[in-house]
Amino acid sequence: MSAVASYSVTASLSRRWRDPAAWMATADILAILIAVSLPWSTSLVAIFATAFLVALAPFFDAKTFLQWLRRPICTLPIALFLLAVVGTLWSDAAWGARLYAVGPTLKLLMLPALFYHFERSGRGLLVFSAFLVACALLMVLSWIVLYAPQLKVASAASAGVPVKNYIDQSQEFALCAVALAYPVILLLRTNRMWQAALLVAISLSLVANMMFVVVSRTALVTMPVMLAVFAAIHLKWRSIVAIFCLMALFAGLAWTVSPQMRWTTATFLRDYELYREQNLPTSGGLRLEYWKKSLQFLAEAPVLGHGTGSTRGLFERAAVGQAGASADVVGNPHNQTLNMAVQWGAIGIIALYAMWFVHLRLFRGDGLANWIGLLVVVQNIFTSLFNSHLFDFHEGWMYVLGVGVAGGMALKKNSCEAEAGAERPGRS
């Protein structure tokens, strides 16, 4: 019996090994695991992403994929990576610094694979649901460690931040809180009140955490922009005015009852004044210093930039003989456009904005996938005014996973609608 059972198991495994559907399900599970691990771990994201690519290999259609790569949504992310690679040739940084600076662009190569897979898969929504659940669990733990810091998973500097840092946590919570607005509207229109109430409760809980535990100034600035995008696309003018009034009332209430929000907002002006009057290296003041010097570096090499990995060396040379904020050395100017400009000049800026543009165009239609994809791109564009969020590990992977999965879903929907439209004349 044992030999028969062993043969049966072997035969079953062999059938699954040769079954494309089984490999597709495996790739779906790995994408879900990337989404679950993203709020918690960097190493797990890298492991699951590598495994995802391996799972695509057994039944990979190279001819179809090569046709895929001709689309601008795929060619532009690849172009950014190749620009970083070629940019090592004219950089004067050490080769270790040059190769290290190529690393942040490597994740962009996942976008074509995600587009390719999720145009065929029907489980894209599970990936986003998994990310939402992971963020909700992180939010609960955030409240717990606020009062019991010894339970932190990692040694995060900020109170109420179980893992990573408060900027990453705020980006996750802001994205989920605003993204839930669209499914809530759909549920209300179909009178599914309990489901809508559950999503509203999750969204408000995430916002409450940012109000009373910790919030980044970047999220504080960009959340209203994201909400304005939602209102402009999905609501009528009468509803927009009503919601604007409610938001103003809610913001006033939040300002009154939330010391955390008052302190975070007050630091904008305080940082600027301390930097301007005393040259102190405050957070806001340092950003202004980085931006000013980056523009000078761009003026020195406006077309090709100074090469991959050159940023820290430029700041080191500019800091000689300086004091205070002017003496600070950094390898990242905390602005995605300037990060591109310093290393790759106008060519880098054009490539970056072209990629953002084609990805925005990808999500022009209606539907949940288009809404999520649009929101991910909009968030990345506006948060990249204050950070290099496309190149940062956490926010960069939020972009890659969100745009890749939502883009595949949107392309699948467009293909189905095009096929249905082509069949109608035949039936008539």
How high is the pLDDT of residue 9?
43
312 is written with which tokens? Answer: 């820290």
Q: Residue 139 is which amino acid?
A: M
Quote the distance between the C-alpha of residue 311 and its chain's center: 23
Query: Does residue 300 carry a pLDDT above 90?
Result: yes
How high is the pLDDT of residue 106?
95
Using pLDDT thresholds of 50, 70 and 90, give the confidence band for residue 250: low
- At 35-59, the pLDDT tens digits run 999 999 899 999 999 999 999 888 7
How high is the pLDDT of residue 212?
81
131 is written with which tokens? Answer: 């990310």
* pLDDT, greater one: 11 or 109: 109
- Minimum mean pLDDT range among 79-93, 171-185, 227-241: 227-241
* pLDDT, greater one: 207 or 68: 207
258 is written with which tokens? Answer: 């939330």
Name the average pLDDT for the chain: 83
Q: Which residues of 99-122 are buried (b: 16+ CB within 10 A; e: fewer)?
A: eebbebbebbbbbbbbbbbbbebe
**In 92-192, which residue ranges form alpha helices assigned H by DSSP?**
95-106, 110-118, 124-147, 166-179, 181-189
Q: What are the structural domain ranges in the chain?
A: 61-120+279-415, 127-278
Reduced to 3 states, what is the DSSP secondary structure of residue 31? helix
107/375 Cα distance (integer angstroms) = 20
71/55 Cα distance (integer angstroms) = 23
Local structure of residue 154 (DSSP, 8 states)? S
pTM attached to this predicted model = 0.87
How high is the pLDDT of residue 150?
78
Query: Does residue 245 carry a pLDDT above 80?
Result: no
Cβ atoms of 409 and 372 within 8 Å: the answer is no
- At 314-325, the pLDDT tens digits run 988 888 877 776
Query: Does residue 11 carry a pLDDT above 50?
Result: no
